[in-house]
Amino acid sequence: MAEKKQDEPGGLIARNRRARFNYTILEKLEAGISLLGTEVKSCRERNVDLAAAFARIDKGQVVLCDLHIKPYECGHQFNHEPRRERRLLLHKREIAKLFGKVTIKGRTLVPLSMYFNRRGKIKVELAVCQGKHVSDKRETLRREEADKETRREIVRSRRR
> pLDDT tens digit string along 42-95?
888 888 888 889 899 988 899 999 988 888 777 667 777 777 888 999 999 999
DSSP code at position 128: E
Q: Is there a domain that residue 138 lies in?
A: no
For the stretch 89-148, pLDDT in tens is 999 999 999 999 888 888 899 999 999 988 889 999 999 999 888 878 888 889 999 999
Q: Containing domain of residue 122, as a range?
A: 12-132
| Alpha carbon distance 127, 105 (integer Å) | 16
CATH code assigned at 93: 2.40.280.10
Q: Is there a domain that residue 151 lies in?
A: no
Q: Is there a domain that residue 140 lies in?
A: no
Q: Is there a domain that residue 160 lies in?
A: no
Q: Is there a domain that residue 145 lies in?
A: no
Q: Is there a domain that residue 154 lies in?
A: no
Burial of 69 (0-12, 13-18, 19+ CB in 10 A): buried
Closest CA to 104 of 75, 85, 131: 131
| Alpha carbon distance 74, 41 (integer Å) | 10
Q: Is there a domain that residue 21 lies in?
A: yes
Please provide residue 70's backbone torsions phi and psi, each rounded to the nearest 5 degrees.
Answer: -60, 140
How many domains does the chain fold into? 1
In this prediction the pTM is 0.73
